Amino acid sequence: MADERSRWRDDFPVRWDDDNYMTRRELAKFLTLGSGLLAGVNGLIAVIGLTGRMPAAPVRRIAAVDDIAPGGSMLFRYPTDEDPCILVRDSSGRFDAFSQVCTHLSCAIVHRPDDHALACPCHRGAFSSSDGRPLAGPPTRRLPRIVVEERDGEIVATGVEV
């Protein structure tokens, strides 16, 4: 046992005299300094969120009105090519569009016309296809709505409502 201990000490020589100890007082000061930094970061985030201007959403044609039958849907990208969205036409002919990214864990949602829902297959989440509010499953936040208008027989996207 004594030999094992000495081998261990040879392999991992630790000189306790060289160790840097931290007093309770130092640790408390360090934690309070960290607390101040975190408060500053939180304030900075609030300032950025309240004063930062988001770029204006472009006006973009999505499809012709006749391209989608009542109860149908189509995928498009808006406001950038990195933002997948879904355009839904209900049985009355009204158009609604939403982000296709589930607000739970960012899976792609699909249209379920029979349930009037947009469903997320990953964790069985569901959103209303008329206003994007969560109906079932883990999502708690509504889907961002894409503002769409009919102009001369065309469906155009004009903005995003988060």
Binding site for another protein (CB under 8 A): 24-25, 27-29, 31-32, 34-36, 38-39, 41-43, 45-46, 48-50, 54, 103, 141, 162
Residues 6+ apart with CB under 8 A from 111: 73, 86, 88, 117, 118, 119, 129
108: tokens are 């792609």
Compare residues 27 and 64 and give the one whose CB is closer to another protein: 27
Rounded distance, CA 126 to CA 144, Å? Answer: 14
Nearer residue to another protein within complex by CB, 28 or 69: 28
Least Å from the CB of residue 18 to another protein? 25
Q: How far is the CB of 141 from another protein (least distance, A)?
A: 7
Q: Are 103 and 141 in contact (CB under 8 A)?
A: yes
Please provide the size of the chain in residues: 162
Quick one: 32 or 91, whose CB is closer to another protein?
32
Closest contact distance (angstroms) between CB of 35 and another protein is: 4
In angstroms, give the least distance from the CB of 34 to another protein: 6
Q: How far is CA 72 from the centre of its chain?
A: 26
Closest to another protein by CB, 2 or 162: 162
Q: Going by DSSP bridges, is the β-strand pair 145-151/134-136 parallel, antiparallel, or unpaired?
A: unpaired
DSSP H or E segment with residue 6: helix 2-11
Smaller CB separation from another protein, 14 or 48: 48
Whether the CB-CB separation of 101 and 84 falls below 8 Å is answered with yes
